[in-house]
Amino acid sequence: MENLVIIGSGPAGISAALYAARAGLSPVVLTQGPGALGKAGQIDNYYGAPLTGPALHAAGEEQARALGVRILETQAVGVVGFDTYTVRAVSGDFDTIAVLLATGAKRAAPTIPGLKELEGAGVSYCAVCDAFFYRGKPVAVLGSGDFALHEADELAPLAGSVTILTNGEPEAFTKPCPYPIDRRPISALVGDKALAGVQFADGGLLLANGLFVALGTAGSAEIARQTGAELGADGSVVVDAAMQTTLPGLYAAGDCTGGLKQIAKAVHEGTQAGLSAIQYIRDYRKTHPDL
């Protein structure tokens, strides 16, 4: 059983990892690289700058490793649990007392006619949350990577059929996909008060009562939604002053909590989340000495 699994190695995740490591908790950081920070050129509005985003990210990871933080390159696709958690990743599962979501915020949403209008009426962003409503019905998953495959796996035991739609994007699965794949570009979703199907650019139609959006990788908001943690109206993860979500032991920090998308904010929130998680884990272990 891990103490703390941190998803994301940006300023928020690494800041939390530094404090957790210094507290002797041996945190694990799951990363797919520098994310938005890796695209930043010269940074001159942060203490200790100027330097580039990739250089700052590399320095943070090096500092964390020097303190014994385990940084693993893998994609997290989901989190399940309540009292303790299991982080599901492409490389395997991680059982842990606490989790910090620090993967940043997605900058873009799919621009498919009808998608926004049918949210909650056939369009969903969480298979764990909504699979039950599509028992025996045909559904589709929009995505072309391991996140989409994970959502399809959640749907398969209940849905009548599951089809993965790549919308013309190249496939990026790291393991064989057992589901039918439709690679055609999507032109629109069809349906009056509820989703009835997916219209393709070539004129074809796939009948489906549900469409589960799982583009790219699972971000903090998507993972929070899976667990049942509250999201704000803008899609950000709701946290309290301790950076804890509405679930005990589940924290979030950085861009995913909304507000300023700045390094300084991410470092502050990551620090607070790390300190809060340290106390939570220590208290939890006192009442669960068998772990």
pLDDT band at 109 (very low <50, low <70, confident <90, very high): low
> Does 118 map to a domain?
no
Q: Which tokens belong to 100?
A: 């910090």
Residue 78: exposed, middle, or buried by beta-carbon count in 10 A (0-12, 13-18, 19+)? buried
> Does 140 map to a domain?
yes
Closest CA to 55 of 34, 30, 32: 34
The b-or-e profile of 197-206 (16+ CB within 10 A means b, else e) is: bbbbeeeeeb
pLDDT band at 51 (very low <50, low <70, confident <90, very high): confident
Among 191, 213, 235, the domain-final residue is 213
Q: Check whether residue 8 and residue 97 sit in a common domain.
A: yes
Residue 137: exposed, middle, or buried by beta-carbon count in 10 A (0-12, 13-18, 19+)? middle
pLDDT at 44: 78
What residue numbers bound the domain in which 158 lies?
Answer: 123-213
* Whole-number Å distance between alpha carbons of 290 and 272: 28
Residue 236 pLDDT exceeds 70 = yes
Asked if 76 and 89 touch (Cβ cutoff 8 Å), the reply is yes
> Does 257 map to a domain?
yes
Q: What percent of the chain has pLDDT over 90?
A: 76
